A and B are shown apart, each in its own frame.
Chain A
Amino acid sequence: MSTLITDSSRSNYLNAAYGIKSWLLTKDHKRIALLYLVAVSIFFSVGGLFAALIRLELLTPEGDMVQPDIYNRLFTMHGVIMIFFFLIPAIPAVLGNFILPLMVGAKDLAFPRINLASFYVYVVAGILGVWALINGGVDTGWTFYTPYSSMYSNTQVTLVAMAGFIAGFSSIMTAVNFIVTVHRMRAPGLTWFRMPLMVWALYATSIIIMLATPVLAITLVMLMLDHSLHIGIFDPAQGGDPVLFQHLFWFYSHPAVYIMILPAMGVISELVAAFSRKKVFGYTFVVYSSLSIAFLGFLVWGHHLFVSGQSVYAGAVFSILSMLVAIPSAVKVFNWTATLFQGSVSYQTPMLYALGFIGLFTIGGLTGVFLATMGLDTHVHDTYFVVAHFHYVMVGGTIMGYLGGLHYWWPKISGKLYPEFWAKISALLVFVGFNLTFFPQFIVGYLGMPRRYHAYPPEFQVFNVLSTAGASVLGLGYLLPIIYLTWSMRYGKKAPANPWGAVGLEWETASPPPTFNFDDDPVVEHEAYDYHHRPEEPRVA
């Protein structure tokens, strides 16, 4: 912004200004994305540390490493940090922030100051969360079920709920920014149905964030009042209704699982097109599947309450509606596979993550349908089967999509190529480690091992040993990218504007882009993924 460099081809957003202040007070969406990248990586590491401790405790059947009340805090802090401070912001606030304005050919998001504010709101929430952690953490589970959380837990419920409340506003700010940018800032010629599927996915996600997050916010307010003043809004002993809490909580938190998965689906659409050199098969279907997931996602929360005293009739309706969500999800999977068919497929790292996503999300989604059947859920509710289900979608889905997207856009973000060899190794480690960690949990859960206990019967040990071994491999797989991506920022080969030979506005500007994204205002004349009409560009990376 304050640059006076005359040779515009050499000035980019990274070297436009130097100094810590030029970063901390930046209004450039690309720099804000990098601030978020650092912040979410820190939280991912902290959340991962808790996961490691959980897996260590579960290596043996006896509760020998930590006391039960410590164990409760471990899994709660793991869940809270991973969901609210990593999975929800990761793809929208890091990748989306960076790529959305580029994809729609805009100079920035509609409200750059709100974008920066969202980052600091997130940081404040994070600091509160860490403060709560230092002061003992929480032990309620990330779901904060009442009345345990409101009346009995003497851990930092109010502080952590406050942190979640504040973090929610950070995502709302990002969401409003995305919605307005998509509506009002598209380049000339970029009609709605020419938009990249990533933009559609972020748009649908933003609508969910905008409509669901405030409900969590007000629910957490009531929880905080209840916990700090013991008013009893959700305490049955005082006439409160704990099931109401669950309704309100899941009214947000089921849509929240789509807040986590939809952006990843957007990334996968980009990757599948770029690495098959083909237009995504059934583009319009994929668009509408995002929108219908956003819509249907609001109607299924009751599948978390099958055994909570909800009426069976409500349960039956929620069960059927939940199964309906599987349809648009399957539409996406089929369309990606159809895109691969007869494409000129190449297997660079981002594509490995995309293929991993497709397989793992399918397993995660299908087991979701199992769980949506009331009879089966009565047996496996609160067992490791559920734990495996949601890790297949959240870790096998969202994190795979995040890492795939991070590698794909890394040359654009950093202006450097990452080392392909190490990246492939780590993608392989992530895939193997992931399955080794979580597949055994389906079995042990089906056999009856409940979640959230620090000890278990000895016959389950073999599955838990496998799981802990897998977690070590997975951890290594996550560590490598942190190392080689950081390394590449300094030592990596210089990236050309379009290292993948991909189609899309973001590849038509320099790597890294100038502060205002494009040297000349872009005009769009083609549909998205218009590979037929383009001369084949070489893939450099």
Chain B
Amino acid sequence: MSASAEAHSPELQHHFDSMEQQRSASTLGMWAFVAQELMFFGGLFTAYLVYRYLYPIGFELGSAQLDIKLGGFNTAVLLASSFTMAMAVWAAQTGKKKVLLWMLIATLALGAVFLGVKYVEYSAKIEHHLVPGYNFESDSPYAGQIKMFMALYFAMTGMHALHMVVGFGLLLFYIYHAAKGRYTPEYSHPIELFGLYWHFVDIVWIFLFPLLYLLGRA
């Protein structure tokens, strides 16, 4: 691992021998982070599975309270944002700085749409007195079970939305630097790694949507 020509890249940190080492270290670090995230959401999914098994009827009734159109729309939005993000990674790797910038901005915009729709959904739940711990009311004989469903709905989508907000903040950072032309084919891995994060957050939603909105719905 001798100092090659690219070792002089201004982005090389002092404790790495080469850009190659730096890149592979950050990539592994990001995968480790994703593994950690997987276990984090895993705890919530476990709780969901246990209660779904215990309370099948309440969960179906709860599911019926969700707006399948808005949920479906948001799924499409996120899938589109995954596409623009993948384009951003490609643009970074091939040195298309303009495309990179616009794709990041598009991803940001789609993320904003997602969060906006989520806001609309949450407001509707507040209006309909469906927020456990705040204003939950139901005269269904399965009220308790529906409440459990709603609690998990808020915990799971809330955690997901929180990850979207973090991603949103990071995107602003990357857009700022992309606008300054910092990312080159030699130094594209920050974008690649952020892409990994963004796709991960999307994939979580890909599981949340059917589990919360679709399952058990006639």
Per the 8 Å Cβ criterion, residues 119-152 of B in contact with A are 132-134, 144-145, 147-148, 151-152
Q: Which partner residue on chain A sits nearest B136 by CB separation? A: A231
Cβ–Cβ < 8 Å partners of A68 in chain B: none
A241 to B49 CA separation, bound complex (whole angstroms): 12
Q: Which partner residue on chain B sits nearest A247 by CB separation? A: B46
A106 interfacial contact with B, CB 8 Å:
yes
Cβ-defined contact, B133 with A222, below 8 A: no
Of B37-45, B85-93, B184-192, B202-210, which binds chain A? Answer: B37-45
Cβ-defined contact, A179 with B145, below 8 A: no
13 other A-B residue contacts (CB within 8 Å) besides A177-B29, A211-B36, A229-B134: A110-B15, A176-B36, A184-B28, A214-B36, A218-B42, A222-B44, A225-B151, A229-B133, A231-B151, A232-B147, A232-B151, A239-B54, A240-B148
Cβ-defined contact, A112 with B15, below 8 A: yes
Q: Mark A106-150, 1 if CB is under 8 A from B, else 0.
A: 111011100000000000000000000000000000000000000
A452 interfacial contact with B, CB 8 Å:
no
Q: A218-B44, A238-B144, A516-B15 are in contact. Are A110 and B25 (CB under 8 A)?
A: yes
A110 to B14 CA separation, bound complex (whole angstroms): 11
Per the 8 Å Cβ criterion, residues 22-70 of B in contact with A are 24-26, 28-29, 32-33, 35-37, 39-44, 46-47, 50-51, 54-55
B155 interfacial contact with A, CB 8 Å:
yes
Q: Which partner residue on chain B sits nearest A108 by CB separation? A: B15
Cβ-defined contact, A180 with B28, below 8 A: yes
Cβ-defined contact, B133 with A230, below 8 A: yes
Cβ-defined contact, A107 with B14, below 8 A: yes
Cβ-defined contact, A106 with B15, below 8 A: yes
A219 interfacial contact with B, CB 8 Å:
yes
Cβ-defined contact, B47 with A185, below 8 A: no
Contact of A238 among B46, B147, B152 (CB under 8 A): B147
B5 interfacial contact with A, CB 8 Å:
no
Cβ-defined contact, A215 with B42, below 8 A: yes
6 closest A-B pairs by CB: A229-B133, A218-B43, A214-B40, A107-B15, A108-B15, A214-B39
Cβ-defined contact, B133 with A225, below 8 A: yes
Most chain A CB atoms below 10 A, which of B15, B46, B144: B15
Cβ-defined contact, A213 with B28, below 8 A: no
Q: Mark A419-435, 1 if CB is under 8 A from B, else 0.
A: 00000000000000000
A446 to B145 CA separation, bound complex (whole angstroms): 43
Q: A210-B32, A238-B144, A239-B55 are in contact. Are A233 and B37 (CB under 8 A)?
A: no
Cβ–Cβ < 8 Å partners of A225 in chain B: 133, 151, 155
A185 to B155 CA separation, bound complex (whole angstroms): 39
Cβ–Cβ < 8 Å partners of A180 in chain B: 25, 28-29, 32
Per the 8 Å Cβ criterion, residues 231-264 of A in contact with B are 231-233, 238-241, 244, 247-248
Q: How large is the interface on B (under 10, 10 to 19, 20 to 34, 35 or more residues)?
A: 35 or more
A106 to B21 CA separation, bound complex (whole angstroms): 12
* Secondary structure class of chain B's binding surface, majority of residues: helix
A286 interfacial contact with B, CB 8 Å:
no
Q: Which partner residue on chain A sits nearest B39 by CB separation? A: A214
B1 interfacial contact with A, CB 8 Å:
yes
Cβ–Cβ < 8 Å partners of A21 in chain B: none
Cβ–Cβ < 8 Å partners of A177 in chain B: 29
A241 to B55 CA separation, bound complex (whole angstroms): 12
Q: Which partner residue on chain A sits nearest B132 by CB separation? A: A231
Cβ-defined contact, B47 with A244, below 8 A: yes
Q: A231-B133, A239-B144 are in contact. Are A219 and B28 (CB under 8 A)?
A: no
A164 to B148 CA separation, bound complex (whole angstroms): 25
Q: A233-B47, A238-B144 are in contact. Are A179 and B32 (CB under 8 A)?
A: yes
A188 interfacial contact with B, CB 8 Å:
yes
Per the 8 Å Cβ criterion, residues 162-200 of A in contact with B are 172, 175-177, 179-180, 183-185, 188
Most chain A CB atoms below 10 A, which of B21, B40, B44, B134: B40
A111 to B144 CA separation, bound complex (whole angstroms): 47
Cβ–Cβ < 8 Å partners of A108 in chain B: 15
Q: Which partner residue on chain B sits nearest A112 by CB separation? A: B15
A217 interfacial contact with B, CB 8 Å:
yes
Cβ–Cβ < 8 Å partners of A110 in chain B: 15, 25-26, 29
Q: Which partner residue on chain A sits nearest B33 by CB separation? A: A176
Contact of A221 among B21, B36, B132, B155 (CB under 8 A): B155
Shortest A495–chain B CB gap in Å is 25
Shortest A46–chain B CB gap in Å is 29
Q: A112-B15, A218-B44, A248-B46 are in contact. Are A241 and B54 (CB under 8 A)?
A: yes
Between-chain CB contacts (< 8 Å), 14 pairs: A111-B26, A111-B29, A184-B21, A184-B28, A210-B39, A211-B35, A212-B39, A214-B36, A214-B37, A229-B133, A229-B134, A238-B144, A239-B54, A241-B50
A247 to B144 CA separation, bound complex (whole angstroms): 22
Q: Which partner residue on chain B sits nearest A183 by CB separation? A: B28
A221 to B40 CA separation, bound complex (whole angstroms): 10
A176 to B31 CA separation, bound complex (whole angstroms): 9
Contact of B39 among A112, A211, A232, A240 (CB under 8 A): A211
Cβ-defined contact, A218 with B41, below 8 A: yes
Cβ–Cβ < 8 Å partners of A241 in chain B: 50-51, 54
Q: Which partner residue on chain A sits nearest B145 by CB separation? A: A239
